[in-house]
Amino acid sequence: MEQRVSLVTLGVGDLSRARRFYEALGWSTGAAPDDGIVFFQAGGMVVALWDRGSLAEDSAVSDHGGWGGVTLAYNVGSPAEVELVLDEARAAGATIARPAAPTSWGGTSGVFVDPEGHVWEVAHNPFWRLRADGTIELPS
Amino acid sequence: MEQRVSLVTLGVGDLSRARRFYEALGWSTGAAPDDGIVFFQAGGMVVALWDRGSLAEDSAVSDHGGWGGVTLAYNVGSPAEVELVLDEARAAGATIARPAAPTSWGGTSGVFVDPEGHVWEVAHNPFWRLRADGTIELPS
């Protein structure tokens, strides 16, 4: 198994609301307005929004609601950008769970929660290389 | 906010076991043996393993356990490879939640669950382009 992820699917209760949220963040999809699943090209991978009950069934798991131990992160090029992205997320309908602040590991981060409860950390990590194309390179 | 994901962090109860599982799948990390967090370079992004309680606290969410509406997927180049990856995952310690089979959408997929309960679909989607570098391109 190669060291990569092809797709992250976020289960949602209200697909239209979830789609509007990510579109309000500036994301665009080729999905038709009434498609039952929404795919966003996210760099070299894909982020999907799909009915959470269908995703649970397809994933062969029980869903008792709430958070399940997965947090996404979006890295940016400067501490100031952390605040900007959190402001954008709030304007799009997110809840700010943790405001931008310096972290114990020497970076800056904050956390927003999308309208469906999915958690995104927005971070500036001065020790990781963020390339112009948005890809991340760990220090070797 | 650009259309990308920098990091997917998987919260784990037993970091050593989780690390051994992904290493048994063939993944490698630069983390020291006793590091409290493990980063895997995964294409242009990063997959991290971190204590689930710490991740919940850092994410400012309550954790009631179980699955939380996020499923990862790993796409491969042929239906036969779906079975091969599921076999690798089983050998590394995963549970096969759904064996490889044709899907309603015209592809082939199966599902494994890692030792910490995180769900991966392994899929061949003949309608998506899988490049040699492992990146995915949605049809335009």
Residue B55 CA, chain-centre distance (Å), reads 17
Reported for B100-103, long-range contacts at CB under 8 A and 24+ positions apart, including other chains, are: none
Answer yes or no: do A1 and B89 touch at CB < 8 A. Answer: yes
- B 99-128 residues with CB < 8 A to A: 111, 113, 116-119, 121, 123, 128
pLDDT per residue as tens digits for the range B5-52 = 999 999 999 999 999 999 999 999 999 999 999 999 999 999 999 999
How would you class A48 by CB atoms within 10 Å of its CB: exposed for 0-12, middle for 13-18, buried for 19 or more?
A: buried
What percent of chain B clears pLDDT 90, i.e. is strictly above it?
A: 99
DSSP lists the bridge partners of residue A47 as A8, A40
The band of B140, judged by pLDDT with boundaries at 50, 70 and 90, is: confident
pLDDT per residue as tens digits for the range A14-67 = 999 999 999 999 999 999 999 999 999 999 999 999 999 999 999 999 999 999
The band of A85, judged by pLDDT with boundaries at 50, 70 and 90, is: very high
Q: Average model confidence (pLDDT) for chain B?
A: 97
What proportions of chain A, in percent to the nearest 5, are helix, strand and coil? 25, 35, 40
Among B6, B9, B71, select the one facing A9 at the smallest CB separation.
Answer: B71
The band of A140, judged by pLDDT with boundaries at 50, 70 and 90, is: confident
pLDDT per residue as tens digits for the range B86-107 = 999 999 999 999 999 999 999 9
Among B1, B42, B121, select the one facing A59 at the smallest CB separation.
Answer: B121
- B99 φ, ψ (degrees, to nearest 5): -70, 165
A125 CA: distance to closest CA in chain B (Å): 11
Question: Has residue B134 got a pLDDT over 90?
Answer: yes
The residue ranges of DSSP E strands in chain A, in sequence order, are: 7-12, 37-42, 45-51, 70-75, 95-102, 108-113, 119-124, 129-130, 136-137
Structure-block tokens of residue A79: 């501490």
Q: Is A136 helix (H, G, I), strand (E, B) or coil?
A: strand
Answer yes or no: do B1 and A27 touch at CB < 8 A. Answer: yes
Answer yes or no: do B134 and A42 touch at CB < 8 A. Answer: no
- Name the closest residue on chain A to residue B133, using Cα atoms: A44
Answer yes or no: do B69 and A117 touch at CB < 8 A. Answer: yes
Answer yes or no: do A10 and B98 touch at CB < 8 A. Answer: no
Report the 10 Å Cβ neighbour count for A77: 11
pLDDT per residue as tens digits for the range A105-127 = 999 999 999 999 999 999 999 99
A34 CA: distance to closest CA in chain B (Å): 17
As a whole number of angstroms, the distance between CA A28 and CA B63 comes to: 31
Report the 10 Å Cβ neighbour count for B8: 21
What number is the average pLDDT over the span B61-70?
96
Name the residue among A121, A20, A13 with its Cα closest to residue A70. A121
Q: Is A135 helix (H, G, I), strand (E, B) or coil?
A: coil
As a whole number of angstroms, the distance between CA B68 and CA B113 comes to: 13
Instruction: Output the CA torsion A9→A14→A18→A19 (10° steps).
Output: 90
As a whole number of angstroms, the distance between CA A110 and CA A120 comes to: 9
What local confidence, expressed as pLDDT, does residue A75 receive? 98
Contacts of A5 in chain B (CB under 8 A): 8, 42-43, 45, 47, 72-74
A57 CA: distance to closest CA in chain B (Å): 10
- A 45-74 residues with CB < 8 A to B: 45-47, 52, 55-56, 58-74
Answer yes or no: do B11 and A117 touch at CB < 8 A. Answer: no
Whether B58 contacts A121, CB under 8 Å? yes
What percent of chain A clears pLDDT 70, i.e. is strictly above it?
A: 100
- Name the closest residue on chain B to residue A89, using Cα atoms: B1
Q: Average model confidence (pLDDT) for chain A?
A: 97
Among A61, A69, A88, select the one facing B55 at the smallest CB separation.
Answer: A69
Length of chain A: 140
